[in-house]
Amino acid sequence: MIFGSHVSIRDGYLGAAKRAAALNADAFQYFPKNPRSLSVKSFTREDAELCQDFCIQNGLVSVAHAPYPTALTPSGDHKREQVTASLLNDLAIAEACGSLGVVVHFGKDIFKEDQLASYRLMIDVLNEVLSQWDGKGRILLENMAGKPGAMGTTLEELVKLRELCDYPEKIGFCFDTCHAFTSGLWNGDNWTQVEYQGVENGYFEHLAVIHFNNSRYGTGSGKDRHANIFDNGHIKEGQFAELVASTQLINVPFILETPKEIIPHQEEIRQLQQKWGKK
């Protein structure tokens, strides 16, 4: 099992990798730049390449996460230009760091009375970005935490959207356990059904990373509030254990985005490794 957490880049990309190693992690996630900005970052390639070398030497897996304002259904031409330039910048940084790719949240329904228009816009934006991208790193679409029926809350949607893009080979998936739980996709007791659906539609073939988070709210609530894995969340240990034991998730990194103020990530990674690290 591969466990890790989100880490800061305040000491650069190499610093982020070293921070993950100090946590005794096997993987880490990072924001390639300011998480609240779509500005294009001029980064130090040497630092990124040193990060990649360090990860190779220490057996670390890394993945980038696009800044929060990144929207695959942008409103207006100016925002679309910003998102496109920002994502290409994120992909370039992730590639230089040797990362799996860039996690991007599935698009939202901005055309309230025409959801199909939102899907079409999302496909157009992905095509525009990926037509200009020739690296190995992929865009990793993340399932959403909305109420049941909201965009991006089913595996079938993610798979179909990937298939409809012109560059499906440049797209993979990120599965967020909190989002799946609060959207009702995974209610904690139906993993067998989720796994069957994922196998049937080919989802797991393109799954690159798991955001391993508990939820402060119940299944179907639609709320995105993370809790620590073993600390009073609504997803119980036995329910997590069934997911972790899935043969479909072997060698997929589990990345914590849990509140480190409550349980430090180093301690939570230790707990995970002690509980499920040896298979």
- What does the H/E/C string look like for 74-132? CCCHHHHHHHHHHHHHHHHHHHHCCCCEEEEECCCCCCCCCHHHHHHHHHHHHHHHHCC
Long-range contacts of 193-197 (CB under 8 A, 24+ apart): 194/155, 195/246, 195/248, 197/155, 197/156
Q: What is the pLDDT of residue 113?
A: 78
Report the C-alpha gap between 153 and 135 in whole angstroms: 28
Q: What is the pTM (predicted TM-score) of this model? A: 0.97
Q: Using one digit for the tens of pLDDT, what is the confidence trace for 82-118?
A: 999 999 999 999 999 999 999 999 999 999 878 999 9
pLDDT, average across residues 144-163: 95
Q: Which residues make Cβ contacts (< 8 Å) with residue 62, sequence separation at least 6?
A: 16, 17, 20, 27, 28, 29, 30, 51, 55, 97, 98, 99, 100
Q: What is the pLDDT of residue 112?
A: 81
Q: Which amino acid is at 5?
A: S
Averaged pLDDT of the chain: 96
* pLDDT level of residue 278 (50, 70, 90 thresholds): low
Q: Which residues make Cβ contacts (< 8 Å) with residue 168, sequence separation at least 6?
A: 162
Instruction: Write down the residue that tokens 């996690």 correspond to.
Output: 103
Q: What is the pLDDT of residue 148?
A: 84
* 3-276 topology per CATH: TIM Barrel (3.20.20)
**pLDDT over 90 (residue 120):** yes
Q: Using one digit for the tens of pLDDT, what is the confidence trace for 5-27?
A: 999 999 999 999 999 999 999 99
Beta-bridge partner residues of 77:
none
Q: Using one digit for the tens of pLDDT, what is the confidence trace for 28-52?
A: 999 999 999 999 999 999 999 999 9
**pLDDT over 90 (residue 276):** yes
Q: Using one digit for the tens of pLDDT, what is the confidence trace for 167-197?
A: 999 999 999 999 999 999 999 999 999 999 9
Q: Using one digit for the tens of pLDDT, what is the confidence trace for 245-255?
A: 999 999 999 99
| Domain range list for the chain | 3-276
Q: What is the pLDDT of residue 137?
A: 97
Please name which of 68, 54, 59, 56 lies closest in space to residue 16, comparing C-alpha atoms: 54
* pLDDT level of residue 279 (50, 70, 90 thresholds): very low
